Structure 1
Amino acid sequence: MAAHITTAVKRFVPRESGWLLPTAWQLYTEAWRQHHHSAGPLLRYIPRRAVLYCPGNDERKLRKLASLDVDCAVLDCEDGVALSKKTEARENIPRMLAELDMGRTEKCVRVNSVSSGLIEDDLQVILQAEVLPPAIMLPKVEDTQEVQWFVDRFQHNLKGRPLTESIRLLTFVETAMGLLNFKAVCEEIRRLAPKAGLHHDGVVFGSDDFCASIGATRTKDARELLYARQKVVVTTKAFGLQAIDLVYIDYKDVEGLRQQAREGALMGFTAGGLYKGQVAGPGSCGCPWTTLLSSPTGLEWLPVLGWGFGPAPSLYPHRCYRATRYYVSF
């Protein structure tokens, strides 16, 4: 399979692209090899080039997901949902999992973090839904104790329900403590996840929350995040997982976006990020991962982290700028 992917990339990326060509071959062959290097059953590889986040409490916007061609649609229970709307999100998401036909798009649910104290209610509802989500995102993972708690409550709320295949787990590195404990977290997930019916599939670097946790000032060239990005990608790839890079904070700066995408690809990330601003409507959703990355040098193949619907709520007023990074209004 890796050979077929390599052949396709060779045909797709122009020879004159120079530096990018070996990077493209490497990322696609490694994506297949590393994905199946991780413990657990053999699963189909999902690239997640475009990941679209949508607040789980907004049924109107959730139903629009079926009309958007993305790799992964995230039904959000976390930062995209105000505290007063969490119950509504938990009521909507199980129904949407059953009713929405998204074709090739992967359905994913982002639950609240273990440290928030809200995740138990998320798991209870989601894991007893008529249709289980193929993937779950677990944000702000900081230590092995949180992994142990999550796996234990996952099994408890699943109540012995048989799974046709493992549920994919994507974890977030978003704090200084999470970065320090990242290797141990991955080891603990590898030890516990397969027995629970989980498959650790990828890691997202939450750059803005990470900056806030260390008191750094976010800059356009992201030099303050160089060490963290390198540690995340090295550790992630060592465990054979997808590595999703930081978001880009100025989506109108096309050249800056391209430069950060180049840097992320050369570092070894298998996906990148884009800051989400205001767009006119659903028809504009494709722009960042198509138009903005199109170029004669083959950048159009580079995977990109997409964005979601709706203004971020003032769940954490003092952290509002961080909570908005996945959202766009229409």
Structure 2
Amino acid sequence: MFNSCFRVSTMRNILCLMRRRDASPITLSRTLCIQSPAVSAYTPRRAMLYVPGNDERKLKKIPTLKADCVCMDCEDGVALNRKEEARNTICTMLDELELPSYMDRAVRINSIDNPTLAEEDLKVIMKAKRLPATLMVPKVNEPQQLHWVAEKLKEVLSDRQLSQPMKLVIFIESAIALIHLREILHHGMDLSKDGPFMLDGVVFGSDDFCADIGASRSSDASELIYARQKVVTTAKAYRLQAIDLVHIDFKDSEGLKRQSLEGARMGYTGKQVIHPNQISIVQEAFSPSTEKIEWAQELVKAFEDHQSSGKGAFTFRGSMIDMPLLLQAKNVLRMVDAVKQQ
């Protein structure tokens, strides 16, 4: 009886919070202390395509692509002697390119392990009149590195008035990062409350992770099951997007589809891609099915109707409805709304 009353009371309290915060996700686990510190539109990243920042020809093709997210890269995709060219070219392209409204305009800076390169990236790129919507930071290994990002962003944006914080997506690419992941995300959420960024997602950097632990990549990625599951589980505990590993054989369409569907079943919200031909396969895999959309619409409507009646817990299609299930349905509808314009 106590458990039932607690669940109904908690659901009512959280529903009020969700309405007040424009339905931003709130987890049930701490009444819940893990919640989005700022309200912003949902940014789908079903396919996250890398484009080398020093390749102006490829950058100019971005508006013709159909990827949810295009990441202009200063890091792994750029040779050391082309870093300066990459950051300057990205700054120019941010202002010149007319991108579709649905596309996430993202930039990946160099690793904080090389603070000189990373700081120079921020100084140059943040001079653009059109700032990137999302900043991507690779190889985050400990919570203190996010504090460095926050302080440097404050410095380079000190003369800019932002309507809302820049979205931040971080990369987990080593064994120590995986061990520290909970603390990293917790610190990132704290910094997001009143900082220059809002933590929005986590990317699993599988190739660097394999190199770090001495694993060999296999076609079925079986050596990465534990790491993939820990990344997505921890990210979802903080209601963040989770972006899955790269399928490195861009000619293997069947393998890409199989791995994409596997990642979607695990709970990942998207996948990294390295070639335009991978985009449509990946985005289809990470899109909710017609049946899933109908289920979500009916569940949300049933819940709202039931709440207006003032009654307690209820069942839907034979299952007791709790807050995590309601949030899952709302996330499906947020995704659908966000990709309608594509």
Per the TM alignment, residue 102 of structure 1 is displaced from its structure 2 partner at its CA by: 0.6
Inter-CA distance 300–62: structure 2 relative to 1 (3 Å threshold)? same
Q: Distance in 1 between matches of 2:132 and 2:272?
A: 23
Does residue 1:94 correspond to 2:91, yes or no? Answer: yes
Question: Take 2:132 and 2:273, find their aligned partners in 1: how far apart are those partners?
Answer: 25
Q: Residue in 1 aligned with 2:113?
A: 115
1:66 is matched with which residue?
A: 63
Partner of 2:183: 184
Deviation at 1:233, TM superposition (A): 0.6
Q: Tell me the CA shift for residue 235 of structure 1.
A: 0.3
SS at match of 1:301: coil
Name the SS for the 2:219 alignment partner. Answer: coil
Report if the CA contact (8 A) 1:220-1:249 is conserved.
Answer: no
User: What is the identity, as a one-letter code, of the residue corresponding to 1:61?
Assistant: K
Where structure 2 has 5 or more consecutive residues not aligned to the other structure, the ranges are 1-22, 28-33, 290-342
Q: In 2, are the aligned partners of 1:35 and 1:201 still within 8 Å (CA)?
A: no
- Does the residue aligned with 2:193 lie in a helix, a strand or coil? helix
230 and 76 in structure 1: CA distance in 2 versus 1, 3 angstrom threshold: same
Q: What aligned pairs does 1:1-330 form with structure 2 within 5 A after superposition?
A: 34=25, 38-104=35-101, 105-117=103-115, 118-274=117-273, 276=275, 285=276, 287-290=277-280, 292=281, 299=285, 301=287
- Structure 2 letter corresponding to 1:301: S
- Cα shift at 1:257: 2.7
User: Could you say what secondary structure the match of 2:60 adopts?
Assistant: helix
Cα distance per residue 1:130-181 (max 9 Å; x no partner): 2211111000000012111111111112114210122110000011111111
Equivalent pairs counted in the alignment come to 259
Deviations 1:211-266 (A, max 9, x none): 00000011111111111111101100001011111122334444433332232122
1:35, 1:240 within 8 Å by CA — same for their partners in 2? yes
TM-score by length of 1: 0.73
State the 1:198 CA deviation. Answer: 0.8
Cα distance, 1:270–1:35 mapped onto 2, change above 3 Å: farther
Q: CA deviation at 1:35?
A: 8.6
Does structure 1 conserve the Cα–Cα contact (< 8 Å) formed by 2:67 and 2:279? no
For 2:53, give the aligned amino acid.
G
TM-aligned CA distance change 1:107 to 1:35, over 3 Å:
farther
Note if contact 2:270-2:286 (Cα within 8 Å) is conserved in structure 1.
no
CA distance in 1, matches of 2:63, 2:222: 38
Distance 2:57 2:250 in 1: 25
8 Å Cα contact 1:49/1:302 also seen in 2: no
Gaps of 5+ in 1: 1-31, 277-284, 304-330
Q: Which region of structure 1 is more displaced relative to structure 2, 209-218 or 155-164? A: 155-164
Secondary structure of 1:114's counterpart equals coil
Q: Quick check: 1:34–1:237 contact (8 Å CA) kept in 2?
A: no
What root-mean-square deviation, in Å, do the aligned CA atoms of Structure 1 and Structure 2 show? 2.3
Which amino acid is 2:76 matched to?
Answer: D
Task: Return the letter of the residue paired with 1:51.
Answer: M
Q: Given the superposition, is the C-alpha separation of residues 110 and 35 from structure 1 closer, same or farther in structure 2, using an over 3 Å criterion?
A: farther
Offset of residue 299 of structure 1: 4.3
1:250–1:275 contact (8 Å) kept in structure 2: no
Amino acid at match of 1:70: A
Q: Name whichever of 165-174 and 48-57 sits farther off.
A: 48-57
Matching residue's letter, 2:108: R
